[in-house]
Structure 1
Amino acid sequence: MASDSLSPGLLLDGGELLLTEGSMLTPETYCAYVEEVSAGGASILVLRIGKDMPFSAIPPDLISACNAADVTLASVASDVSSSTVVRAVYMALASEQRLALQASVDLFAVISAAVGRGEGVSGIVAAWKKQTGVPVLVADMLGRVLAGSANDLDIDPTLLPELALQSHKPRTPIRIPDADVTITALGSPKPRGLLIAGTSPMVPVDLAALTSFLGLELERLWLADEPSRQRRAEVVGAVLSARTEAAARSKLRSAGLADKLYHVVVVDPGGEDITQLVAEAALLFRGGMARIQGRYVEIIVGHEDPVLASLERLLHPLAAGVGAMVTPGHLAVSRTQALAAVHASAVAGRPITFNQGIIFDWLADTVDAVEALAFSDAILAPIEAGDPEGILLATLRTWMEENCSLQGTCERMNIHRHTLRARLRKIEAQLGQPLEALQTRTELWLAINIRPITRWPEV
């Protein structure tokens, strides 16, 4: 755009190179003129200078005004024609576009080579960073880092699980407050992971190629996991039908789960693809212990699995029931409870957890807390009197929680049967009552469960 008007803003659409001889410019109008140029969105202001021009050099005050308004200022000699300036601009733009296109082609080739060599997600990310210098991080749907580093992006890695949860809802914007990063869900139509990328004005290409390659790679990994999912489904069935605590625990450990306690989660997929739901559960829950059983999806979940805390958000609006927390040998019981809870979930519109201790909620509402604790202390006092380290009390609690099973208690406490029997005989001696008596067991069971968990010794 060539104009000597003092009000060129009306002529500008943004992005122009504005060429002027400055015939109407005076020191008094510099600031107003530059602000007009800035408001019009001109990319650069060019002043024609020469002996036969109004200005033989750029005035220092005009330089100051442009600096203050962050307007780029340049000069061109009076004998340079406007068409020459236009050609120079187009040649520069064409050169820039060629460089950007070549950079895109080079990047595409490097990433394609990484994929072809089977380097996976980490190889794709390494190729991107080497070619662009921009750090990126790829996380799965649990927020676990698959490639890249949170430190390179200066973000808190503990935020990744929450960001992964947000990606399940397409309309929810995914962002980290006060962080200069771009966050993209990978995979279509279902998200398989997250791409978090830094920003840099030096990057010649956008993230489209990287996002496509990573999305395809994660989808490939997801499909490749199908045989493994089938094997884990068989393990779920074997655990639920195991006859002993040791057998159930051994099968879980062979699948990579070493928690002491577990839940069974039962999900009604409703109108969703049940096979797809099993695959997603295998990605979301640690260990991926999921199977299809009739119209439901059944999942074995360790009680420390972080996904349990976000179950409602993850599965909404699907009906889901969660069985009680049990040892591996009692997972069939937890499954029965979860099946009962899933029906209530459909009515309640949220996941329902079977509350095995519901009687204590009732007691808390009907019995004075001080009196309840006094009862507990009175019942357990004879045992505590001769048990300063709390070993007998811890043994009694475990034995009661294991439904008075010697084998279950020994396995859970990692002690010999002779040791357990000796401790139980000592408890009977201190109580002066046989543990086989129903009244004794009932009183002990109530006393143990009334006492706050914080008052139990760590043994």
Structure 2
Amino acid sequence: MELDKGTFTVTKLAKAKDLGLRLVHGGTGVERAVGIPFAIERWGPIPELHGGELVFTSGRHLGEDWTEWKVLLEGAKAAGAAGVIIGLGSGAAFETLPAELLRLAGANDLPVLTADYAEMGRIAHTVTGLHSESQRDAYRRPLELQMEITAIVARGGSFGDLLDGWQQRTQEPVAVFDRLGRVMARSSAFPSSLLTPLGKRLASHEAPRLGEHFNLSATTLEAAPDMASAETGERVEIYPFAGNDTVRGYCVRIPTGQETAELAAPALRSLLALEFERLWFLDESARRKRAERFARLLTLTEPGSARTFLRSLGIEGGPLRGVAIEARNETHAEVLIDDLAVVLAAPFIRHRHRIVECLATVDPRQALADYGLDVPTGIGTRGAPEHSARSIRQATLALETSRRAGTPIEYVDGASHEFLINAAPSDYLEAFSSAALAPIENSRGGEALLRTLHTWLLERRSIEATAERMGVHRHTVRNRMQRIVQITGHDLDGIDAQTELWLAFKARGFRDGETSPKGP
């Protein structure tokens, strides 16, 4: 029988000469996919169908009861039937199709075919076989496509070869971006005007995460006069693909809606993930070299030797800043050392298990915020290359505090108390500051006493400097300080008392240069 695979529709069945079917009414459903035959030769409602079935009937149980014929046709359409085949001739209700049945078919917009009633069994058997073959073919084609694109990779093909192979077999343009939105490869027909807007989208926080995918229009991407075509449908699909549980990159397809391509697309993403893993291992020597250089620089504490070492690598001897990050797992750490080498312009970077350490040549705070890092992070102070080891130690200390605070922590020289405050629970800080400051605060003129004490500590316990800063007479400051001693019972000349009060002010929200607590 001459019937193309993958085109099993009412129209094709009617044109198949060997079947002996005649299409008497087509309507809008003639190009629907056709399922298995389903015979109805009794009264009652149409059973629930799965969609696409061909309803066979001789009509003997209905005769010329047009009301029941109307119920049958309406019920078949409502149940999802692709069409109705009415048997004619000896043994059937009619020798020829009545005009009233043709009218009812038109009123229901349901494809109706006729056949010789004596041939109905053979036709049903043939249609069932065609449907089974079509189903097998529907699954076979994606499998063959998967095998063909896998062979491209097995033969050593590049990303570009894989994407071009996909496009040739599916007519779908496709491109691959890395985690930072940089184009890795694209098939020949992928619109170049989409690359920049897609890269910006993927580099932002709007990129899809694992388990998600985006369907975007060209209008959404603010691009693409060359994308507005019937072939592309003016849409792109963005899927992340992963190595273990971490995004490695993004596959961007311009879908055609072919079932074969949709079923084989997960295999394409898996192959891309495997290729990314392979490239990662190929770059392992470069990562090892960066780690060795990192360790070497930490041992160079003399300005001359550190700068000479940097010049030997073709790097200007500018300031560096230590960064320590606790990745979610070792796979995430491996991803970070690749990404941060770009994001932080970090030629010196390594990871030890989950901890990633690097020396950044740019300000890491904004760069890490733009990257969207959401794990504990410590940042050391900015300094000359010979002070790299010191900055890394500071970053490590800040990382310990970041774990407790749940936010990136930046080390500040001479401000270790900030780490203590960030690490302590808020209820503890409130209780601590209240215990130290509440007696002063609740006394007569308590607010002025607190501001005076805080300014006195800021001005290194100078009565004159405190008075000048507050704009009051020095005797006023001296009297207030004497009252504070009486209220608290503290010897304010002692370092322990000064430290306790200073930490209490910090916990309360007072900051250097301020004479009142920082508001929310």
TM-score clears 0.5:
yes
TM-score bracket, normalised by the shorter chain, equals 0.5 to 0.7
Instruction: Determine the structure 2 residue equivalent to 1:396.
Output: none
1:88 equivalent to 2:147? Answer no
Is this contact kept in 2: 1:107–1:131, CA < 8 A?
yes
Is this contact kept in 1: 2:323–2:392, CA < 8 A?
yes
Instruction: Determine the structure 2 residue equivalent to 1:230.
Output: 288
Where 1:303 maps in the other structure, the secondary structure is coil
Correspondent of 1:160 among 202, 215, 219: 202
The TM-score, its normalising length taken from structure 1, stands at 0.60
Q: 1:341 to 1:84 in 2, by over 3 A?
A: same
Question: Over aligned residue pairs, what C-alpha RMSD do you find?
Answer: 4.3
Correspondent of 2:237 among 138, 161, 181: 181
1:279 equivalent to 2:334? Answer yes
- The separation in 1 between residues aligned to 2:163 and 2:140, in whole angstroms, is 20
Is this contact kept in 2: 1:19–1:46, CA < 8 A?
yes
- The separation in 2 between residues aligned to 1:250 and 1:9, in whole angstroms, is 84
- The separation in 1 between residues aligned to 2:39 and 2:204, in whole angstroms, is 53
Is this contact kept in 2: 1:345–1:351, CA < 8 A?
yes
Q: 1:40 to 1:295 in 2, by over 3 A?
A: closer
Q: CA deviation at 1:144?
A: 2.2
Q: CA deviation at 1:213?
A: 2.0
Q: CA deviation at 1:260?
A: 7.0
Q: 1:346 to 1:109 in 2, by over 3 A?
A: closer
Instruction: Determine the structure 1 residue equivalent to 2:468.
Output: none
Q: CA deviation at 1:231?
A: 0.8
Counterparts of residues 63-142 of structure 1 (less than 5 Å): 63=106, 65-66=108-109, 73-79=111-117, 81-100=119-138, 103-104=141-142, 106-142=144-180
- The separation in 2 between residues aligned to 1:259 and 1:4, in whole angstroms, is 91
Is this contact kept in 1: 2:333–2:351, CA < 8 A?
yes
Instruction: Determine the structure 1 residue equivalent to 2:399.
Output: 342
- The separation in 2 between residues aligned to 1:220 and 1:304, in whole angstroms, is 32
Instruction: Determine the structure 1 residue equivalent to 2:369.
Output: 309
Instruction: Determine the structure 2 residue equivalent to 1:412.
Output: none
Is this contact kept in 2: 1:27–1:62, CA < 8 A?
no
Where 2:40 maps in the other structure, the secondary structure is coil
Instruction: Determine the structure 2 residue equivalent to 1:323.
Output: 380
For structure 2, the 5+ residue unaligned runs are: 1-37, 218-234, 416-453, 456-520
Please list the CA deviations of residues 23-57 of structure 1 after superposition, one character each: whole Å capped at 9, or x if unmatched: 47988888876664344233x11231647357357
- The separation in 2 between residues aligned to 1:277 and 1:159, in whole angstroms, is 22
| Paired AA for residue 309 in structure 1 | A
Instruction: Determine the structure 1 residue equivalent to 2:272.
Output: 214
Is this contact kept in 1: 2:216–2:237, CA < 8 A?
no
Q: 1:202 to 1:53 in 2, by over 3 A?
A: farther
Between 183-192 and 120-129, the greater mean CA deviation after superposition: 183-192
- The separation in 1 between residues aligned to 2:184 and 2:374, in whole angstroms, is 24
| Paired AA for residue 282 in structure 1 | I
Is this contact kept in 2: 1:134–1:198, CA < 8 A?
yes
Please list the CA deviations of residues 150-191 of structure 1 after superposition, one character each: whole Å capped at 9, or x if unmatched: 748967331112479653xx5x63435565526242333443
Residues paired across the two proteins, number: 344
- The separation in 2 between residues aligned to 1:260 and 1:30, in whole angstroms, is 89
- The separation in 2 between residues aligned to 1:34 and 1:327, in whole angstroms, is 86
- The separation in 2 between residues aligned to 1:308 and 1:299, in whole angstroms, is 13
| Paired AA for residue 3 in structure 1 | I
Please list the CA deviations of residues 371-413 of structure 1 after superposition, one character each: whole Å capped at 9, or x if unmatched: xxxxxxxxxxxxxxxxxxxxxxxxxxxxxxxxxxxxxxxxxxx
Q: 1:126 to 1:30 in 2, by over 3 A?
A: farther
Where 1:146 maps in the other structure, the secondary structure is strand
Q: CA deviation at 1:342?
A: 0.8
Where 1:173 maps in the other structure, the secondary structure is coil
Correspondent of 2:408 among 347, 351, 359: 351
Is this contact kept in 1: 2:160–2:185, CA < 8 A?
yes
Correspondent of 2:252 among 196, 200, 204: 196
1:291 equivalent to 2:329? Answer no
Q: CA deviation at 1:230?
A: 0.5
Between 144-153 and 208-217, the greater mean CA deviation after superposition: 144-153
Instruction: Determine the structure 2 residue equivalent to 1:14.
Output: 51
| Paired AA for residue 226 in structure 1 | E
Identity of aligned residues (%): 24
Correspondent of 2:80 among 23, 41, 44: 41
Q: 1:127 to 1:327 in 2, by over 3 A?
A: farther
| Paired AA for residue 338 in structure 2 | L
Is this contact kept in 2: 1:265–1:320, CA < 8 A?
yes
Q: 1:330 to 1:212 in 2, by over 3 A?
A: same
